[in-house]
Structure 1
Amino acid sequence: MSHNKDGKNRNDIKPGLNVNIVLKADQRIGKLTQGIVKDILTNSGTHPHGIKVRLEDGQVGRVKEILE
Structure 2
Amino acid sequence: MAGNGKIRSDVKPGLEVDIVLKQDQRTGKTTRGIVKDLLTNSPQHPHGIKVRLQDGQVGRVQNIVSGGTV
Determine the C-alpha separation between the residues in 2 that align with 1:67 and 1:29: 20
1:29 and 2:27 aligned: yes
User: What CA deviation, in whole Å up to 9, does each residue of 1:5-57 have, x standing for no partner?
Assistant: 10000000000000000000000000000000000000000000000000000
Determine the C-alpha separation between the residues in 1 that align with 2:23 and 2:53: 15
Identity %: 69
Residue matched to 1:12: 10
Determine the C-alpha separation between the residues in 2 that align with 1:15 and 1:34: 14
Amino acid at match of 2:29: K
Flag structure 2 segments of 5+ consecutive residues without an equivalent.
Answer: none
TM-score normalized by the length of structure 2: 0.91
Aligned residue for 1:54, secondary structure, equals strand
Residue matched to 1:52: 50
Q: How many residues align?
A: 65
- Give me the CA root mean square deviation: 0.8
Flag structure 1 segments of 5+ consecutive residues without an equivalent.
Answer: none
Detail structure 1 runs of 4+ shifted over 2 Å in the superposition. Answer: none
Aligned residue for 1:67, secondary structure, equals strand
